[in-house]
């Protein structure tokens, strides 16, 4: 092999290796990129950590239509808890504030750390579902056998497109006690 070629080969090899390393980084870059795409509502639904409390604004109440809001509760991995919503369905006018209570109970004799993860369907409605107060904003700690009533206050932004007539809000409780202990 010619000396020049050997040098050229090494250089090209090195450059390609740099590309490979950059692509490894790109794999990680897909994570925030995914959030961006989700925000554009192009690929996916909202990510839970993107949901924050929104200050109460005085919307004009749209009496002309009613939206059926459904509430669902799920326990991940049969977490030893009781978790339910005060009601499964509620008819609301966009612009009107409502508070819905959720009940949770730790059924074990030890403390528990759990996190409720919200999810919307149709996913595109999540931006119009504005929460003023929610137990899902942070991790919840339960004393042994503790029962909690957890209010969730929300409004549907009147900008909600008219085609949406039913919206489901689902909460899944994940038992994070083990992770919390390890941390």
Partner 1 sequence: MKKIKQLFAGAMLTTFGLPIAQADYALNLMEGVTKVSNDIYDLHMLILWICVFIGIAVFGTIFYSIYHHRKSKGHEAAHFHEHTTVEIIWTIIPTIILVAMAIPATKTMLELDDVQESEMSIKVTGKQWYWDYQYLDSGVHFESHLDEISEKSHRGHTIDPHTVPNYLLSVDRPLVIPINKKIRFVFTSADVIHSWWVPDLGWKKDANPGFINEAWTSVPTPGVYRGQCTELCGRDHGFMPIVVIAMNQGDYDNWVKTTLEKQNAKPDLSDQSHEQLMANGSSVYLKNCVACHQIDGKGVVGNYPALRGSAKVTGGVDPLIGFLQAGTSKMPSFAKLKDNELAAVITYIRNSPDIGNKVGDEIQPKAITPVYDDDE
Partner 2 sequence: MSAVTAEHDHDDHHHDDHAHGPEKGWLRWVVTTNHKDIGTLYLVFALAMFFVGGTMAMIIRAELFEPGMQFVDPQFFNSMTTMHALVMVFGAVMPAFVGLANWMVPMMIGAPDMALPRMNNMSFWLLVAGILLLASTLFMEGGAPAGGWTLYPPLVLQTGKALPFAIFSVHLLGISSIMGAINIVATILNMRAPAMSLMKMPMFVWTWLITGFLLIAIMPVFAGAVTMLLTDKFFHTSFFDAAGGGDPVLYQHIFWFFGHPEVYVMILPTFGVASTIIPVFARKPLFGYSSMVYATAAIAFLAFIVWAHHMFTVGMPISGELYFMYATMLIAIPTGVKVFNWTATMWKGAMTFETPMLFSISFVVLFTLGGFTGLMMSIAPADFQYHDSYFIVAHFHYTLVPASIFMLMAGGYYWLPKWTGHMYNEKIGQLHFWLSAISVNILFFPQHFLGLAGMPRRIPDYAIQFSDWNMISSIGGFIFGASQLLFLYIVVDTIKGGTGEKVTDEVWEDAHKHGLEWTLPSPVPYHTFSTPPTVIPCDHD
- Strand-pair partners of 152: 100
Q: Based on the shown chain and the rule CB under 8 A, indicate whether residue 159 belongs to the binding site for partner 2.
A: no
In DSSP notation, 86-108 reads S-SEEEE-TT-EEEEEEEEEE-S
Least Cβ distance, residue 23 to partner 2 (angstroms): 4
C-alpha to C-alpha distances, 64 to 102, 116, 150, 162, nearest whole angstrom: 28, 33, 30, 11
- Residues 109-138: x/- map of binding to partner 1 (CB under 8 A)? xx------x-xxxx----------------
User: Could you say whether residue 75 binds partner 1 (CB under 8 A)?
Assistant: yes
- Residue written as tokens 């929300």? 154
Site string for partner 1, 139-168 (x = CB under 8 A): ------x-----------------xxxx-x
Nearer to partner 2, 7 or 159 (CB): 7
The pairing of strands 67-75 and 166-175 is: parallel
12 contact, one of partner 2, partner 1, none, CB 5-8 Å limit per kind: partner 2
Closest approach, Cβ 7 to partner 2, in A, equals 10
The total of other beta-carbon atoms located within 10 Å of residue 69's CB is 21
Give percent helix, percent strand, percent coil of the chain, each to the nearest 5.
Answer: 30, 35, 30
d(CA 183, CA 96): 41
At closest approach, how far in Å is the CB of 70 from partner 1?
A: 6
Residue 72, interface with partner 2 (CB under 8 A)?
no
Q: From the CA atom positions of the chain, what is the Rg in Å?
A: 24
Can you give the binding site for partner 2, defined by CB under 8 A? 1-3, 5-6, 8-10, 12-13, 16-17, 19-28, 30-31, 34, 41-45, 47-49, 76, 115, 117, 123-124, 172, 174, 176, 179, 182-183
């Amino acid at each position: 092999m010619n000396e020049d070629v050997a040098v050229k080969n090494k250089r090209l090899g090195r450059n390609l290796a740099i590309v490979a390393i950059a692509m490894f980084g790109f794999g990680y870059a897909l994570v925030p990129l995914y959030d961006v795409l989700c925000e554009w509502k192009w690929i996916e639904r909202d990510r839970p950590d993107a949901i924050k409390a929104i200050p109460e604004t005085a919307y004009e109440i749209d009496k002309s239509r009613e939206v059926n809001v459904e509430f669902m509760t799920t326990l991940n991995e049969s977490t030893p808890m009781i978790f339910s919503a005060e009601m499964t369905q509620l008819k609301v006018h966009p612009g009107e504030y409502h508070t819905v209570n959720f009940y949770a109970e730790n059924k074990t004799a030890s403390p528990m750390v759990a996190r409720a993860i919200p999810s919307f369907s149709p996913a595109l409605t999540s931006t119009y579902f504005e929460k003023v107060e929610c137990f899902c904003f942070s991790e919840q700690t339960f004393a042994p056998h503790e029962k909690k009533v957890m209010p969730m206050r929300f409004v549907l932004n009147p900008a909600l497109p008219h085609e949406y007539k039913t919206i489901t809000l689902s909460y899944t409780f994940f038992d994070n006690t083990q992770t919390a202990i390890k941390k």
